[in-house]
Amino acid sequence: MNSAKPTGKKHMDITALENQIKLGKEPKPVLVFSGPEEFLKERMTQKMVKSLIPAEDQGENFLRFDCNSKDASQVESNLYSFCFNTSPRIFLLNSFSNLNAAPRKDFLKTISQNGIPMNTILIFSVSDAKTSAEITGAFKQQSEKIDFWRPFDNQLPGWVKKEAGELGGKINNDAAELLLELTGSSLAVLFQELNKLIIAAAGKVVGVDQVRASVRYLNQDGIFDFLNNFGNRRSKEALRALEIMINSGEAPQKIWFMLCRQLRDFRLLHDLNADRPDLYSEAIEILRSYGRIAEKTDFKANQEKKSLTGRLQKIAETFPPYLAEVVAIGNSAKSRNLYMAMNFNRSELVKAWPLLIKTDLLLKSGVPDATTALQTFTLRFLSGDFKSA
C-alpha cells in the first residue's frame, strides 16, 4: 500500500507487485526497492520468496547480502554459480546505497554487461533517488522501481486486516485499532504481534479481548523508538524505552553503540556547519523544516517530507565526495534521523563529549552495572548536566 504518490516516471506500486507474485508470475529481473519503510521492503521480499520459490529450494535459492560488509565480488560469484534445481533464484542486496560510488557503479556496469542469468531476480534495497536512478539506468527495461512508504494513519487498520488475511486469519476493526494503539510506531513490532495473535486464534477472528490479553507493548519499546525519544529530548519516554529493552534482554552495549553512532552524526553535522556554513546552512534549514513535520503522517506532510529529502539530495550532489559521504545528508534514511540534530546545539554537544567518552570507557571495561551507566548517561545528557564529566 503506497502512502505517497510517485512523481515523474510512473513506477510499479506495491499492490501491483503483490498481485503479480500472488499469481506466481515472476517480475522483471531487477527490482529497486526504494523509499524509507524498511520493514515493508523485507515483508515484500518474504512474500516473493514464499510465492516464487518452493519451500525445499528456499534455503539454496534465496541469498541475502549486506552491502556494508559483503563486497561485490561475492555477489557476482554467487550470481553466476551453478544451481542444482530449476526454481527461481532471488538475490537481496541490502543497503546498496551505502556502497561507495565507484565500486557501486563498477558493480552495476559488470552485471549489466554480463547479463542476469535466467530465472534470477535481483532486489536492490536503496535509500536515495540517486542510487535508484543509477540502477534503473544500468538495467533500463529489465528493471522496475517500487517505492515503500508507511501507510497513512487512516490506512493502517486496513493494512492490519490485509496482513491478517495474508497470514491466514482475520481481525475485526476494533481489535485492529487497539493493536495499533498498543504497539506504537514500528510496523515490524505491529506485524510481529499480529502474527502471534493469528496463530493463537487458530482460525477464529481476533477480537479486542484477545489483543488486550496478549499484547503487552505500551509504545516506544524498541531501539529505534528509544533513539527517536532521545533525539527529541523526551527524557521520560527514553528512560522508559531503555528499561523495557533491557528487561527484555537487550544488551546495554548494543544500545550504547547505536546511541553513540547517532550522537556522532549529530555533532559531526554541527561541526561541519560551523566550519563550512557556505555548504551546510541551507541543509540545516531544510532539516529544521523537516523536524516541524517529522511526527505527522498525513498526506500533505508525507508529500512535504519527500520534497524536503529531495532538496537535501540535490544539495548533497554539489558537495565534494568525502563531505557527501561523511554525514550523508542526501541519504533519505539518514535525513529522517538527522533532523533531530537540530534539537541540540553545537556548544552543548561539545560540553557533553567528556561524559560520552567516560561512559564509553565504563561500558567497554566491563562495568558491573552497565544498565545504570546507560541510564545515568541518558538522564544527564538530556538534562544538560555535564558537570565533572
Give the residue numbers spanning the domain of 285.
225-347
Residues 236 and 332 both lie in one domain:
yes
Residues 187 and 250 both lie in one domain:
no
26: exposed, middle or buried (Cβ count in 10 Å: 0-12, 13-18, 19+): middle
Residues 19 and 135 both lie in one domain:
yes
What pLDDT is recorded for position 333?
58
Residues 295 and 334 both lie in one domain:
yes
Q: What is the CATH number of the domain that holds 28?
A: 3.40.50.300
**End-to-end alpha carbon distance in the chain:** 49
The Cβ-side half-sphere exposure at 291, using a 13 Å CA radius, reads: 18
Q: Is residue 356 a part of any domain in this protein? A: no
Q: What is the sign of the dihedral through the CA atoms of 385, 387, 388 and 389?
A: positive
Residue 89 backbone dihedrals phi, psi, to 5 degrees: -115, 135
Q: Is residue 3 a part of any domain in this protein? A: no
Which own/partner pairs from 41-46 qualify as long-range (CB within 8 Å, at least 24 positions apart)? Answer: 41/125, 41/148, 43/191, 44/14, 44/17, 44/18, 44/146, 44/148, 45/90, 45/92, 45/123
**pLDDT mean by block of 10 residues, the chain; 389 residues:** 44 86 88 91 93 92 78 80 90 87 89 93 91 94 92 88 94 89 79 92 90 66 80 89 82 89 91 89 91 80 83 85 74 72 93 92 81 90 77
Task: Residue 249: count other Cβ atoms within 10 Å of its Cβ.
Answer: 6
Task: Residue 124: count other Cβ atoms within 10 Å of its Cβ.
Answer: 26
Angle (CA) 163-167-173 rounded to 5° is: 45
Residues 269 and 284 both lie in one domain:
yes
Angle (CA) 232-235-239 rounded to 5° is: 120
**In 3D, which of 265, 291, 282 has the Cα closest to residue 319?**
282
**Residue the block writes with cell 537487550:** 250
Q: Is residue 382 a part of any domain in this protein? A: no
Residues 21 and 138 both lie in one domain:
yes
Q: Is residue 157 a part of any domain in this protein? A: yes
**In 3D, which of 110, 91, 87 has the Cα closest to residue 45?**
91
Residues 160 and 247 both lie in one domain:
no
Q: Is residue 350 within 8 Å of residue 381, measured between CB atoms?
A: no
Q: Is residue 187 within 8 Å of residue 216, measured between CB atoms?
A: no
What pLDDT is recorded for position 219?
47
Within 8 A by CB and 6+ apart from 113, the residues are none
Residues 274 and 172 both lie in one domain:
no
> Can you tell me whether residue 93 is helix, strand or coil?
strand
Question: Has this prediction a pTM greater than 0.85?
Answer: no
What pLDDT is recorded for position 336?
64
Domains in the chain, number:
3
| Per-residue burial over 214-246, b = 16 or more CB atoms within 10 Å of its CB, e = otherwise | ebebebbbbbbbbbbbbbbebeebbbbbbebbb
Task: Residue 361: count other Cβ atoms within 10 Å of its Cβ.
Answer: 10
Q: What is the CATH number of the domain that holds 178?
A: 1.10.8.60
Last residue of a domain, one of 186, 214, 242: 214
Q: Is residue 366 a part of any domain in this protein? A: no
Residues 142 and 157 both lie in one domain:
no
Q: Is residue 130 a part of any domain in this protein? A: yes
Q: Is residue 94 within 8 Å of residue 84, measured between CB atoms?
A: no
Distances in Å between the Cα of 326 and the Cα atoms of 149, 264, 334, 338 are 26, 11, 11, 13
What pLDDT is recorded for position 369?
82
